Chains A and B, each alone.
Chain A
Amino acid sequence: MAVATLEENVVYRRPQSLTDTPTHYCPGCTHGIAHRLVAEVLDELGVRERTIGVSPVGCAVFAYKYFNVDNVVAAHGRAPAMATGIKRVMPDRVVFTYQGDGDLAAIGLAEIVHAATRGENFTTIFINNAIYGMTGGQMAPTSLPGQHTSSSPGGRDVEMAGFPVKMAELIAGMAGAAYVARRSLHSVKEINRAKKAIRAAFEVQLNGLGFAMVELLSSCPTNWHMTPPEALEWIERAMIPAFPLGDYKVIEPVQAFLKR
């Protein structure tokens, strides 16, 4: 049969805002997807060269190796304080923090709440996987009641350890927050919706509208002791009822970005 010489278009390739470095994340960990979505958005908005990222302490401590932008590694929980310092002195740069649930919802709770209430004009990507990944699977503020972790071996007991923290709801209550959304990375359909939310969150910054945060329900197959596909199913089955998806705060000027 004749060799086809039809033309091809590249429909998908690696975004510029990611380096070529292979990641250390576990197989199936949705950090990789979140990184990719942020990188795609930075590419589409054409802001890679004026972006400064702030990495957390957590599995994503090495995010500086993967994002092709200037980056600093913050102390645990303090990324929003560092981002405040950076954005205040360089308001024309695009500044984002990328944080996990220990970093943002435990030790860093004061920093993220105050960044939101001050309306700091940077963007936060919050990875909620209901567990502490880097340190080997301890309970997180976002762990679900009954969830087995290495520091709640009998399952999270709400009498002893209280209930999960709902960050999107909490931050949405801050007057300085312009856009707060919760999305999920458990299916291709939801990943595509998540990307739109991430893009809107960066557009909030580019338009000087205040603080924006996107909470992304994410998986941790290793510490949940599941296969990657099982982990995605657990997000849908168990996490979404506890952390409903949606737009929790959308100020009027942001409506326009979302409609696009």
Chain B
Amino acid sequence: MAVELLKGNVALAEAAIRAGVEAYFGYPITPQTELLEHMAQRMPELGRVFVQAESEVAAINMVYGAACTGVRAMTSSSSPGISLMQEGFSYIACSEVPCVVVDVMRGGPGLGNILPSQGDYYQVTHSAGHGDYHPIVLAPASVQEAIDLMGLAFDLADQYRHLVFLIADGLIGQMMEPAELPPMRPLRKVKGDWALTGADGRDPRFITSLQLGAQEMEAVNLRLQAKLETIRQNEQRWTEYLTDDAQLVVVGFGSAGRIAQTAVQQARRDGLKVGLFRPITLWPFPDKRLSALADQVSAFLVVEMNAGQMVSDVRLAAGGQVPVKFYGRTGGVVPVPEEIYDAIRATYQKLSQRSTRE
């Protein structure tokens, strides 16, 4: 297919359509509204389902309903709307109904603003709702990667009967980049043996997240935890840049990782042995590789567009072996390469001082 100039939100919507999404339910909220608007245009054209719900609360429950019948269903929102949907996420995850949610993150907390941030990391990776579970969380750093990960999101959701988030900061949702969309996939005809389709010639099925007995609820939890462990073992994804001989590795996801890459390039030109590690799955967090890198490097510098969220997971993966420093901007401020370069320089200098002292 041809390379074209695409806006991130529109690319996400069209990529979902190509991946075979059959139902979209959403509510307008900046900076993701173009995704909803694209769906409003395209889904009826294709004879698929589109509803602008009365709220995000309604939207996630419409997704839950549609997904219960075995179709590919999704919604999209931004930080405050994601907060509203949390009850729905928990029900969906507990009852193991596959679905995909896009979060285009904005400045917060509270009503915040409509500028880009990465402030929802804790929220979506820890559980995005009450109780013990983690959604799979994918984090693109470009419009093309967003397109590619959208197809993967639906496949992972179906493979594991799980909730999958694709999170992007507002920058990725709003920017336009050359990218290529995949061809249209045919809609699936076969549904899982759990799907509600009407008890025609079979016993009725039911889908619930209610388990009044402690033993029964624990059994559900153990099953979910086992599934999460399988996902942890098999689905960690990341990318690395110039890490082979790096003394300092910068860790960043999404736009922060991408901007940090420019800073890393500048640092390398100045002779610093710096590399970049960019997680693509935020859950499961790519801790296997990061732990291995901790054996090699002298420090990590985590760069985020929040007050320090992924840095906790980097610290856990590093296991206390090396210092983990943090540089972040909040409130919708997008860091520029120069300020990350300064942070790299400052961290790197301290490493040299430490090693000359030893």
Note whether A and B contact each other (Cβ less than 8 A): yes
Cα distance A88–B63 when bound, in Å? 11
B201 contacts A49, C-beta separation under 8 Å: yes
Whether B260 sits at the interface, judged by CB under 8 Å, is: no
Whether B23 sits at the interface, judged by CB under 8 Å, is: yes
Whether B208 sits at the interface, judged by CB under 8 Å, is: yes
Whether A225 sits at the interface, judged by CB under 8 Å, is: no
Q: Which residues of A contact B196 (CB under 8 A)?
A: 52, 70-72, 86
- Encoded as 1 (CB less than 8 Å from any A CB) or 0, chain B from 191 to 234 comes to 00000111111001111111000000000000000000000000
Contact (A81, B65) CB under 8 Å given A68-B204, A71-B204, A75-B87 = yes
Whether B53 sits at the interface, judged by CB under 8 Å, is: yes
A82 contacts B199, C-beta separation under 8 Å: no
A84 contacts B200, C-beta separation under 8 Å: no
- Encoded as 1 (CB less than 8 Å from any A CB) or 0, chain B from 66 to 104 comes to 111101010000000000000110010001000000000
CB closest residue in chain A, given B67: A85
B53 contacts A73, C-beta separation under 8 Å: no
Contacting B at CB under 8 A, from A38-77, are 48-52, 54-55, 61, 64, 67-75
B54 contacts A114, C-beta separation under 8 Å: yes
A70 contacts B61, C-beta separation under 8 Å: no
Whether A90 sits at the interface, judged by CB under 8 Å, is: yes
Contacting A at CB under 8 A, from B107-156, are none
- Encoded as 1 (CB less than 8 Å from any B CB) or 0, chain A from 224 to 240 comes to 00000000000000000
Q: Which residues of B contact A52 (CB under 8 A)?
A: 69, 196-198
> What are 16 sample pairs from A and B whose C-beta atoms fall under 8 A apart?
A49-B198, A71-B207, A72-B65, A72-B196, A72-B207, A73-B206, A73-B207, A82-B64, A82-B65, A85-B25, A85-B61, A85-B66, A86-B69, A93-B198, A111-B57, A111-B58
Minimal beta-carbon separation of B197 from chain A (angstroms): 7
Tally of contacts, chain A with chain B, CB under 8 A: 130
Whether A165 sits at the interface, judged by CB under 8 Å, is: no
Q: Which residues of A contact B207 (CB under 8 A)?
A: 71-73
Cα distance A75–B64 when bound, in Å? 10
Minimal beta-carbon separation of B192 from chain A (angstroms): 13
CB closest residue in chain A, given B50: A88
Whether B176 sits at the interface, judged by CB under 8 Å, is: no
Q: Which residues of A contact B280 (CB under 8 A)?
A: none
Minimal beta-carbon separation of A47 from chain B (angstroms): 9
Q: In the complex, how many residues of chain B place their beta carbon closer than 8 angstroms to a beta carbon of chain A?
A: 39
Cα distance A82–B206 when bound, in Å? 14
Whether B312 sits at the interface, judged by CB under 8 Å, is: no
B55 contacts A61, C-beta separation under 8 Å: no
Q: Which residues of A contact B59 (CB under 8 A)?
A: 81
Whether B22 sits at the interface, judged by CB under 8 Å, is: yes
Whether A197 sits at the interface, judged by CB under 8 Å, is: no
Whether A209 sits at the interface, judged by CB under 8 Å, is: no
Minimal beta-carbon separation of B206 from chain A (angstroms): 4
Q: How large is the interface on A (under 10, 10 to 19, 20 to 34, 35 or more residues)?
A: 35 or more
Cα distance A55–B91 when bound, in Å? 14
Other contacts beyond A49-B201, A75-B61, A85-B65: 5, CB < 8 A: A71-B205, A72-B207, A82-B64, A90-B198, A111-B54
Minimal beta-carbon separation of A121 from chain B (angstroms): 13
CB closest residue in chain B, given A94: B198
CB closest residue in chain B, given A86: B65
Most B CB within 10 A of own CB, among A81, A86, A111, A114 = A81
Minimal beta-carbon separation of A219 from chain B (angstroms): 24
B198 contacts A110, C-beta separation under 8 Å: no
CB closest residue in chain B, given A68: B204
Cα distance A75–B65 when bound, in Å? 11
Whether A89 sits at the interface, judged by CB under 8 Å, is: yes
Whether B29 sits at the interface, judged by CB under 8 Å, is: no
- Encoded as 1 (CB less than 8 Å from any B CB) or 0, chain A from 100 to 115 comes to 0000000000110110
Minimal beta-carbon separation of B55 from chain A (angstroms): 6
Whether A83 sits at the interface, judged by CB under 8 Å, is: yes
Cα distance A75–B73 when bound, in Å? 18
Minimal beta-carbon separation of A257 from chain B (angstroms): 23
A86 contacts B208, C-beta separation under 8 Å: no
A88 contacts B58, C-beta separation under 8 Å: no
Q: Enumerate the 3 nearest inter-chain pairs by beta-carbon distance, A residue then B residue, closest first.
A: A85-B65, A82-B65, A81-B61
A75 contacts B62, C-beta separation under 8 Å: no
Cα distance A86–B59 when bound, in Å? 12
Cα distance A233–B23 when bound, in Å? 47
A72 contacts B206, C-beta separation under 8 Å: yes
Of the candidates A61, A81, A89, A118, the one whose C-beta lies within 8 Å of that of B49 is: A89
CB closest residue in chain B, given A62: B210
A70 contacts B205, C-beta separation under 8 Å: yes
Whether B51 sits at the interface, judged by CB under 8 Å, is: yes
Q: Which residues of B contact A49 (CB under 8 A)?
A: 198-201
Whether A148 sits at the interface, judged by CB under 8 Å, is: no
Of the candidates B22, B88, B91, B198, the one whose C-beta lies within 8 Å of that of A89 is: B22
B49 contacts A69, C-beta separation under 8 Å: no
Contact (A75, B91) CB under 8 Å given A68-B204, A89-B49, A114-B54 = yes
Q: Which residues of B contact A118 (CB under 8 A)?
A: 51
Q: Which residues of A contact B91 (CB under 8 A)?
A: 75
A86 contacts B51, C-beta separation under 8 Å: no
CB closest residue in chain A, given B66: A85
